[in-house]
A and B are shown apart, each in its own frame.
Chain A
Amino acid sequence: MSIRICNLPFNSSFAPQPRARVSSRSTRVFARTENDTQQQQLNLSVLRFTFGIPGLDESYLPRWLGYGFGSLLLLNHFSASAPINEPQLRSEALGISLAAFSIALPYIGKFLKGSVVEQRTLPEEGEQVFVISSNIGDSLKEDLAWATYVLLRNTSTIAVLISIQGELCVRGYWNCPDQMSKAQLHDWFKKKVDEIGLADVKETLYFPQYEGSSASWDILPDGTRSLFVQPLIQDIYEPQKMDGFLLVASTAGYAYSDKDRAWIGAMAEKFRG
C-alpha cells in the first residue's frame, strides 16, 4: 500500500511557469494498493522548495525560521500587557522549544545518509610542498609519491604526511617555513612529528571538527577542520609495534566518511611491513 502525494511537475527549481500548477496548494493524495515486494515504504514526492538564488543553501531554512520565529515569540512575550495567563505561557514554551529544535535541524540533517558533504577550500596563502626522504629505495619512493597523489586527488584532503620507520613523505599545503632546502624541510618535519609523538599512536584517530591545537600541531595548515591518522601496523602478531603512520587533513568538516576511511586504511596497508 503506498500513498503518493503528487506535486506536478517535480522540479527542483521553483520558477513561475505558465503551467502554474506548480504550487503547494494543488496537492492531491492518491492511495493505491501496490505490490511492493521488497519493502513497504511511503513513497513521497514532495516539492523541493528553493529560492533559486545560487549559493543560498535552503537546507538551513529551518534554522533561519527558528531564529526568526523565536525572536518574534520573545517580542510577543515582552510586549504583552501585564499578567500573562497560563495558556499563553504554555504555547510560548512550546514555541520556544520548537524554535530550538528547528535551529538544530540542519545539524542533525548533516549526519543522515545521503547528505551533501562539504567541499574543501584550498588555503589562500602558502604553497604546496612535496618532500620525500632520500634514505629510501626508489620503488618505495614511487609508491609514496603515487599514494600521496592519489590521496590528494580522490578525497577532500589538502595535506598528507606518510611516515615509514621515521622516513617521511610530505605533500600538500603545510604551515612550514619557506626558504628551506628539501633536506632541511624533511628534518624540520621530522622534528615536529617527533614532538607530537605521532609515531606512538596505536589506533586510528579521527577528528571531524578540529579546531586548532597546541604549538606542535601548528604544522597543519590554517583552516584544517578534519584530521585523520592511520597507524601502519608492522606485524599483525605484534600489534604494539607500529611501523609508522599516515596523516591526512582537510579544510572541510566531517570530510572522511566511513568509505573514505576504509580506502585510506587500504592505502596504509600498502606500506605495511
Chain B
Amino acid sequence: MEARIILQIQIPWNPNRQSSRRPSLHLPRSFIRASSSTSQKPRSYKGPKPSTNLVADFISSNDDLARSLPIYVGGASLLAVLFNRTVSGIAPVADASSSQSRADLLALGLAVTNLLTGLVWLSIRPKSITPVNPEGVDCKVVDSDLPVSIVSELLWAWESLKVATCCKSLVIVYNGICLIQIGMVAESPQDKKRVIVNTDKLMQGSVYRGVMKSKAQSYLANLSLYPGRSELAFLPANTQAVILQPLGDKGIAVIGGNTIRGFTSSDQAWISSIGEKLDATLGRYFIDSAEGSRENY
C-alpha cells in the first residue's frame, strides 16, 4: 500500500516552464471543470494535479549511480582539461599568467569540488541491511471473548504495522491475557504447530518487568545480542529486531521485525502513539467488563 503519485498529467503543460531545474507545481490556466448533474453527488475535484518529478524518481531508484555520478563527472573533466592542454600543444603548466591557464585552473577547481562531493555522498551512504525471513508458521489468533470493536482495532494496529514497518509478528498481552498473536510465530518442535504464549512466564520474566518498571518503549535493535531472548520464545527464532511497547501499566505489545535496526525513530514514535491508544481502548473495555461482572453479583 505504497502511496505514489498516480494521477496522470491531463493538463497541457506550458513547455517553456519545464526548463527550470526546480520542478515546481505549475498551475494550469484553466482548471478541469466536470459538471455534476445532481446536487447530491460531490462536486468534482477542481485543483492542481501532481506532476511527476523525473529527476527525483530517477535518483531515488538509482541511488548508487547517483552517488558516484559527481566522481565520474569530476574525474572525467580533470582528464579532459589535461587532454585539452596536450592536444592544443600548450605546456601543462599551472600558473595564472595566461587566460587559458586561468580558465583551466577554475575548471580544475570545480572538478575537484565535484570529486570531493561524490566522496562525501559515498561515505554517508546508509548501510543497506538485508531482511531475514522469519522461520515459523503464519498464524492469526485473537482472544474469543473480545467484542468486535476491540478486535477490529487490534487488527487495524497489526495492518498498520505490517504495511508501514518491517514488523512480521505481533503479540499483545493485557491484564494477563494474550489478546492477539498474529503474523509469524515460532513453530514448536513437538507438534509442528504454533507456540502458545505463556503469559505467566512472560510476565514474570525480566523483559516484561524491565519494560513495566521503566514505563517506556524498549527497542532491541539486534535481538541476537540480547540475553533475555529466551523469554520471547513465541517469536520466530531468527527475529532480528523487537520493540516492546508497554500499554499503560497492564499490558505489553511485542512487535518483531525482520531487519536489524529495522525500526526507524519515526516508527518508534508512531508505535508509542498506537500503544497509548490501545491502552486507552483496552483499559476502558476491561474496566467496563469488570464493573459489569461486579454488578452481576
Contacts and interface: CB of A to CB of B under 8 A. Distances in A.
A95 B160 contact: no
Contacts of B43: 194-195, 197, 199-200
Given A65-B110, A105-B114, A150-B273, A112 B81 contact: no
A76 B106 contact: yes
A107 B24 CA distance: 13
Contacts, number: 221
Chain B interface main SS type: helix
A95 B103 contact: yes
B50 interface: yes
A94 B48 CA distance: 39
Given A48-B120, A76-B106, A109-B121, A203 B6 contact: yes
A260 B267 CA distance: 9
B123 A102 contact: no
B250 interface: no
Nearest to B87: A87
A77 B67 CA distance: 32
B256 interface: no
Given A69-B110, A269-B159, A76 B117 contact: no
B210 interface: no
Interface stretch (B52-60, B168-176, B235-243): B52-60
B156 A214 contact: no
Contacts of B87: 87
Nearest to A257: B266
Interface stretch (A13-21, A39-47, A118-126, A167-175): A39-47
A130 interface: no
Interface in A146-160: 146, 150, 153-155
Contacts of A261: 2-3
B105 to A, nearest CB: 9
Contact of A95 (B48, B106, B163): B106
Interface string A173-206: 0000000000000000000001111111101111
Q: Interface size class for chain A?
A: 35 or more
Contact of A197 (B5, B44, B50, B149): B44
Contacts of B151: none
Nearest to B111: A98
B99 interface: yes
Interface residues of B, number: 79
B16 to A, nearest CB: 17
Contact of B47 (A49, A73, A217): A217
Interface string B85-126: 101101000000001101110110111011011011111111
Given A102-B113, A105-B70, A269-B159, A262 B63 contact: no
Contact of B270 (A66, A154, A211): A154
B73 interface: yes
B1 A91 contact: no
Contacts of B120: 46, 48
A205 B4 CA distance: 8
Contact of B84 (A91, A198, A210, A267): A91
A269 B100 contact: no
A228 to B, nearest CB: 8
Interface in B67-82: 67, 69-70, 73, 77, 80-81
A39 B125 CA distance: 14
Contacts of A258: 2-3
B74 to A, nearest CB: 8
Given A105-B117, A111-B60, A217-B47, A94 B270 contact: no
A86 B85 CA distance: 11
B126 A114 contact: yes
A45 B123 contact: yes
A5 to B, nearest CB: 8
Contact of B48 (A39, A80, A207, A260): A207
Contact of B103 (A48, A77, A108, A260): A77
Interface in A225-273: 228, 230, 242, 258-267, 269-270
Interface of B: 1-7, 21-25, 27, 31, 42-50, 53, 55-56, 59-60, 63, 66-67, 69-70, 73, 77, 80-81, 84-85, 87-88, 90, 99-100, 102-104, 106-107, 109-111, 113-114, 116-117, 119-126, 128, 130, 149, 156, 159-160, 163-164, 264, 266-267, 269-270, 273, 277
Given A62-B117, A258-B2, 8 more contacts: A87-B90, A107-B22, A154-B273, A195-B46, A197-B43, A204-B6, A205-B50, A209-B23
